[in-house]
Structure 1
Amino acid sequence: MVKIVALLGDYWHPEAEARVGLEAAIDRLANKEEVNLAFITYEEVGRALEANPDLFINGKMDEINPRDEQVITWLTDELDKQLVNYVEAGGSVIAWHAGMASYQKDSSYIKMLRGSFDYHPPGLQEVTYMLKKDEKSGPNTFVLSDEQYFVDCDQANTEVDLWSTGVDGDSIAGWKHSYGEGKVCCFTPAHTQAGMLNENISTLLAERINWALAK
């Protein structure tokens, strides 16, 4: 049995929508009957990692209450170290959309991701996603109404495998690399349930799950 734990949903991203999107991607896996998918809260992350799952999917931003005067974050120093130790020992992490947003740039988690969310244009925009850099039309592209994430990414130390272009210009939309004995993958789309259920997005997320699980 393959064990996947997922932390989804925050102030800006409804957990129910992300669950539907992730379940759709899991349903595309050839071994989907062997997958045990568990949804957890941020309070349960430490205990979940102690059980050494095959994959931890983080689709939650760090800030719990971003509109309040005193903002609370969930990634403690202890969890920050535990996440990195989990991957170094052979675990895999996928940072999905908000899972790379509002975290401290000097955290061990962001350093392990080798990239993080910077900003996105207001609202939903027409975003073209590209499987090949600078190939903005043709069979290796598709268009989605989405938040176009602009990111910081250490391109020299990871494998970029998805790009985007939109109203504000071009950005990187996905990358992956090994880390210690484990694997790390970052995937920026999508913001809405419709976007997550888009066949292209669902297929790409499933491919990244397969990559993260492959030994």
Structure 2
Amino acid sequence: MKKIVALLGDYWHAADDAKAGLEAALIRLPIKDEIDLQYITYKEVSQVLSDRPDLFINAKMDQLNPRDEQVITWLTEELDTKLVNYVIEGGSVLAWHAGMAGYSSESNYIHMLRGYFNYHPPGLQEVTYMLKDNEKSGENTFFLSDEQYFVHCDKANTEVDLWSTGIDGDSIAAWKHSFGKGKICCFTPAHTREGMVNENVSSLLAEKINWMLSL
């Protein structure tokens, strides 16, 4: 069995929407009957990492209460170090959508991801996702009504494999690399439940998960 733990949902993103998207992806896996999936809260992350799951999926931004005057974040310095060590020792992390948002650019976690969310234009836009760089139409593209994430990405030290374009410009939408004995993947689509269960999104998400679980 492959053990997957998933931290989903935050102030801006409904956990149930992400669950639907994740489960739509998992049923596409060739080893779907060999997956042990556990949903966790941020308070459980440290203990769960001690149990050495095969994959930790993070779809939660760092700020627990982003609109309050005193903002609380869940990624402590101790947990930041533990998360990186987990990957160095052979674990894998998928930072999905909000899982790369709101974290300190100086954190070990963000250094490990080699990229992070910068901003998105207000509201939902029609976004074209491209499987080939700058190929803005044709069979290697698909469309979503989505938040188009604009990101910082260390392109020289990762493999970019998805791009986005919209009325506000172009950005990188997914990348992956090995880190220590483990693997990292960052995947920006999608914000809405409809986007998360979109066939193209769930298919790509399944590909990422399968890559991270493979030896």
Aligned residues: 215
Distance 1:57 1:109 in 2: 13
Give the residue type in structure 1 aligned to 2:112: M
CA apart distance, 1:15: 0.5
Distance 1:31 1:180 in 2: 25
Distance 1:18 1:197 in 2: 9
Give the residue type in structure 1 aligned to 2:95: A
Give the residue type in structure 2 aligned to 1:173: A
Aligned equivalent of 1:101: 101
Aligned equivalent of 2:195: 195
CA apart distance, 1:30: 1.1
Q: Does 1:164 align with 2:164?
A: yes
3-state DSSP class of the match of 2:156?
helix
Aligned equivalent of 2:154: 154
3-state DSSP class of the match of 2:143?
strand
Distance 2:154 2:59 in 1: 21
Aligned equivalent of 2:9: 9
Aligned equivalent of 1:88: 88
Render the CA deviation track for 1:101-146: whole Å, top value 9, x for unaligned: 0000000000000000000000000000000000000000001000
Aligned equivalent of 2:78: 78
Give the residue type in structure 1 aligned to 2:107: S
Aligned equivalent of 2:128: 128
Give the residue type in structure 1 aligned to 2:199: E
3-state DSSP class of the match of 2:174?
strand
Q: TM-score, normalised by structure 1?
A: 1.00
Distance 1:15 1:198 in 2: 17
Render the CA deviation track for 1:27-67: whole Å, top value 9, x for unaligned: 11111111000000000000010000000000000000000
Render the CA deviation track for 1:74-103: whole Å, top value 9, x for unaligned: 000010000000000000000000000000
| Runs of 5+ unmatched residues, structure 2 | none
Give the residue type in structure 2 aligned to 1:184: I
Aligned equivalent of 1:208: 208
Aligned equivalent of 2:40: 40
CA apart distance, 1:167: 1.3
Distance 2:133 2:44 in 1: 38
Give the residue type in structure 2 aligned to 1:146: D
Provide the alpha-carbon RMSD of the alignment: 0.4
Distance 1:207 1:35 in 2: 15
Render the CA deviation track for 1:135-173: whole Å, top value 9, x for unaligned: 000000001000000000000000000000001100000
Q: Does 1:115 align with 2:115?
A: yes
Distance 1:181 1:16 in 2: 32
Q: TM-score, normalised by structure 2?
A: 1.00
